[in-house]
Structure 1
Amino acid sequence: MDDLKLFARNDESLYKLVDTVQRFSDAIQMSFGISKCAKLTIKRGKSVQTGSMPIMSGPEIPELETAGLYRYLGFPEGGGIDHAHSKDVVLSEFKMLSYGFGIVDWTVAEITQFDILVRKMMVTSRSLHPRSAVERLYLPHCLGGRGLSNVEDLYRRRVILLAHHLRTSDDALVKMCHLLDVSLPSRKSVCSRADAYVAALSVDIDLTQATADEIKNLVCDRQKVSRWETLKNKPLHGKFINWCGSNPVDLSRSFRWLCEFLHSESESTIFAIQDQVVRTRVYEAKIMNLSVPTLMCRLCSSHEETIQHLMAGCPMLAPTSYIHRHNLVASVIHWHLCHTFGIGEIANNWYSHQPLPVVENASIKMLWDFDIITVSHIPSNRPDLVVFLKETPEKILLIEVSCPADINVLDKENEKITKYQRLAGEMSRTYCQPAVIIPVVFGVSGVVSNNQKRHLEKIPAFTQLTFANLQKAAILGTVNVLNNINLRVV
């Protein structure tokens, strides 16, 4: 710490404090930056001039002018608080936000402008869809949010914690501040505002009994719950979240991709898909109330053009964009196994990997998109990837990949297992080894079921990184689908 603020009753006491600081500074080979130092004397609430402050060695510490301001930790300070100037500094530099909360005379309306400004900047840079759910910006990643801090929430928390400090501190100066605060009008009183914020959050807690950490955690949790409930009650934005909550979906893993440093525009696109605000013909007609020539898909003209249809149900995109996304996910598994068992020359990254139809070494053999010849005719005899593990325990893995609409991930897992059950039994009898079906199913926006972790763990040396790469491949494939349609996301 190299920035200090010393308080004393008079110049003599201040001199002793400065002398102590200088002796300590000399001992640790530090010196005063006189050009950045200033002395201020306040009597009866007004700034007065009493002369500069001498020190043991070096020039004197100059006195601050009567109406002058001093920047301490980047914040302008003087004989009093110039609220208007302090606000201008924060607004222009957009920093030191929380430093003045509860001290500078902010109103909630002014604080809200910070959040609005951030969202406008994100929309301008294509990092946020203008019609996406605002609540999801401020929810944590595990709940499907983007993890941003809400300035209004931060302001309310700081005011509540400041009121707790005023009421519980044993320091004489703080007690004097508390007496002054309770004498102020409710609009300006920190304690009155804190009580109002606590009541609005319906938090049942005594600010004089709980610790600061308990209050902070309780208020944070309540703010998250309040925002989560608001999102769920929205008829359009809440559909995806409500569906995830009412089905066996692994929420934490479904939103694991939010921690993977995707491009902000790609994040914005996935959120727009989940919030169902992409400008399809159905959205323009039924939500925006625009006049459209037809609700049918602009590509296939056989189904209504919804975002679910375009992302996973259009027959015109099936042989091109959907196949590319499917193969991208499957190639992650192929690359992972090649890397694990040291097969041939391996690309440095999964997205540069080009799977070969057949690869083999002493430990493993892999068939990529290969017809399996059986004694009896089996219609479904071409899994995406067949893996023969030659080391103990020997077994065969039938890996089948799919990227359906999010609402179909559960049905698709069961369908893949049922579809290849007969082939697995036939191969088990032929090779005298157990054959295991592994459905790798990721929704178009990364949603996975509660069963997916159990299925993926059957793949040798499977790690969290491999899961993240699989999910990222599905999501980037979906973004590519939308880009190929040339559909207006905004």
Structure 2
Amino acid sequence: MVRGKLNGRGNIMLPNETEIHELEDNESYRYLGVMEADDIKQSEMKAKIKKEYIHRLMKVLKSKLTAGNLIAAINTWAVSFYRYRAGIIQWTKAELQQLDRRTRKLMTMHKGLHPRSDVDRVYVERDQGGRGLMSVEETVNYESHSLKKYTEGSPVEFIRTAGKIINTNSEDGRQEYRNHQKTERKQNWHDKPINGQHLRQTEDQAAKETWQWMKRGCLKRETESLIIAAQDQALRTNYRKAKIEKSTNNPKCRLCKQKDETVSHIVIECSKIAQTKYKGWHDKVASAVQWSICKKHELPHTAKWYDHRAEAVLENEKVTLLWDFNVQTDKMEAGDKHHSFYARLSEFTGK
């Protein structure tokens, strides 16, 4: 252990002749990343943490990361700056909520979040259909709660006493507290009449299949935020302008002028684009399927699926592959349980 001695000025002189001077009234020292003097410098530390958090957030947002990697980078590099000092720096609820709002605002400015997207969905995990962003408020509360539980269970009396200064609003265990945070966010999103429509409509589908594209997170941030906004019914369709914003009296589709212009109507049921946009989307998906079949059965195909151009007929000694052919079937009688086409197909395949 290195020992020093006091010199004539009241400072400590180390054996290597390094002098440690006495702190002035406006000075502080740093211990484990926290500025202290006779007490923790709360206001100075808050300003420093907030400045560094915004700096890290902006660095990430200015990158060209995909949507999933963007969220992961914010969580691990920016939000973690608050996590380390949670329970030590005393944040108010209003301060943390204001920082979450600023985070969403900056994400919107950098095309990582649609301005009308559902707020709760932003913080739901990606495999549950959310964006997966960690809330600064929830992170600080969780870490404070965890630190409180750790100190309460410590065999050292000094640590148990120190933990009494940490205020939490729950007696749940660490995992129960975290699960409650996640459940509350998703339930709030689910219960919203407009924003929660898509979630309620897909409840019966396997979550693994429904949200696989979200879990992969390989889309551009602009693309993902637009899709999320469409699912949240947040796009400014005539229906939204008439029923929610009250900026118009006509909710009908501006193309077919027959049904209400909702996102679902535009995507799947507008008669004016049935043979144009819809068919084009369908053919792109079918072209990728045909490319996979060609690759499997050694038929001519391109190196990349998106370069593939479907041919009307492709064949070799093993298979014949048809594209965009009409299939004639018998007229289905009223009360039939199975279409005759599928009945004949079963007879042909023996299944």
Q: What range is the shorter-chain TM-score in?
A: 0.7 to 0.9
Q: Does the C-alpha gap of structure 1 residues 345 and 334 become closer, same or farther in structure 2, counting only changes over 3 Å?
A: closer
Q: Does the C-alpha gap of structure 1 residues 165 and 379 become closer, same or farther in structure 2, counting only changes over 3 Å?
A: same
Higher deviation after alignment, 282-291 or 337-346: 337-346
- Mapped to 1, the partners of 2:296 and 2:19 lie a distance apart of 68
Q: Which residue of 1 aligns with 2:202?
A: 244
Among 122, 126, 137, which residue is 2:122 paired with?
Answer: 137
- Mapped to 1, the partners of 2:11 and 2:317 lie a distance apart of 89
Q: Which residue of 1 aligns with 2:190?
A: 232
- Mapped to 1, the partners of 2:157 and 2:247 lie a distance apart of 65
| 1:150 partnered with 2:135 | yes
Among 340, 343, 346, which residue is 1:422 paired with?
Answer: 340
Q: Which residue of 2 aligns with 1:433?
A: 349
Letter in 1 for 2:306: Y
Question: Aligned with 2:12: secondary structure?
Answer: coil
Q: Which residue of 2 aligns with 1:337?
A: 293
Among 311, 315, 318, which residue is 1:360 paired with?
Answer: 315
Task: Mark the structure with the bigger radius of gyration.
Answer: 1
Q: Does the C-alpha gap of structure 1 residues 310 and 60 become closer, same or farther in structure 2, counting only changes over 3 Å?
A: farther
Among 280, 289, 296, which residue is 2:246 paired with?
Answer: 289
- Mapped to 2, the partners of 1:428 and 1:283 lie a distance apart of 47
Q: Which residue of 2 aligns with 1:128?
A: 113
Q: Which residues in structure 2 correspond to 1:211-226 (within 5 Å)?
A: 215-226=173-184
How far did 1:237 drift? 1.6
Q: Which residue of 2 aligns with 1:479?
A: none
Among 9, 14, 36, which residue is 1:53 paired with?
Answer: 14
Aligned-residue identity in percent: 29
Question: Aligned with 2:276: secondary structure?
Answer: helix
Q: What whole-Å deviation, never above 9, does each CA across 1:153-203 have from its counterpart, x for those lacking one?
A: 11111111111122222236424524xx4xxxxxxx31xx22x2x16xxxx
| 1:15 partnered with 2:2 | yes
Q: Does the C-alpha gap of structure 1 residues 428 and 253 become closer, same or farther in structure 2, counting only changes over 3 Å?
A: closer
Q: Which residue of 2 aligns with 1:255?
A: 211
Q: Which residue of 2 aligns with 1:312?
A: 268
Q: What whole-Å deviation, never above 9, does each CA across 1:278-311 have from its counterpart, x for those lacking one?
A: 111111011011134x322111222222222111
| 1:66 partnered with 2:20 | no
Q: What whole-Å deviation, never above 9, does each CA across 1:327-348 have from its counterpart, x for those lacking one?
A: 1111221122222333224232
- Mapped to 1, the partners of 2:235 and 2:288 lie a distance apart of 29
Question: Aligned with 1:316: secondary structure?
Answer: helix
Q: Does the C-alpha gap of structure 1 residues 173 and 282 become closer, same or farther in structure 2, counting only changes over 3 Å?
A: same
Confirm or deny: 8 A CA contact 2:11 2:22 kept in the other structure: no
- Mapped to 2, the partners of 1:64 and 1:112 lie a distance apart of 40
- Mapped to 2, the partners of 1:335 and 1:51 lie a distance apart of 77
How far did 1:62 drift? 5.1
Q: Does the C-alpha gap of structure 1 residues 310 and 135 become closer, same or farther in structure 2, counting only changes over 3 Å?
A: same
Among 18, 42, 49, which residue is 1:83 paired with?
Answer: 42
Letter in 1 for 2:134: S
Confirm or deny: 8 A CA contact 1:137 1:145 kept in the other structure: yes
Among 95, 100, 109, which residue is 2:94 paired with?
Answer: 109
- Mapped to 1, the partners of 2:129 and 2:202 lie a distance apart of 10
Q: What whole-Å deviation, never above 9, does each CA across 1:90-133 have from its counterpart, x for those lacking one?
A: 11110421122111121111111221111101221232222221
Q: Which residue of 1 aligns with 2:225?
A: 268
How far did 1:136 drift? 0.8
Question: Aligned with 1:252: secondary structure?
Answer: helix
Q: Does the C-alpha gap of structure 1 residues 311 and 97 become closer, same or farther in structure 2, counting only changes over 3 Å?
A: same
Q: Which residues in structure 2 correspond to 1:164-243 (within 5 Å)?
A: 164-171=149-156, 173-178=158-163, 181=164, 189-190=165-166, 193-194=167-168, 196=169, 198=170, 205=172, 215-243=173-201
Confirm or deny: 8 A CA contact 1:138 1:149 kept in the other structure: yes
Q: What whole-Å deviation, never above 9, does each CA across 1:196-247 have from its counterpart, x for those lacking one?
A: 2x16xxxxx4xxxxxxxxx3321111111112222222222222222333xx
- Mapped to 2, the partners of 1:125 and 1:311 lie a distance apart of 26
Letter in 1 for 2:44: H
Confirm or deny: 8 A CA contact 2:291 2:301 kept in the other structure: no
Q: Does the C-alpha gap of structure 1 residues 81 and 343 become closer, same or farther in structure 2, counting only changes over 3 Å?
A: same
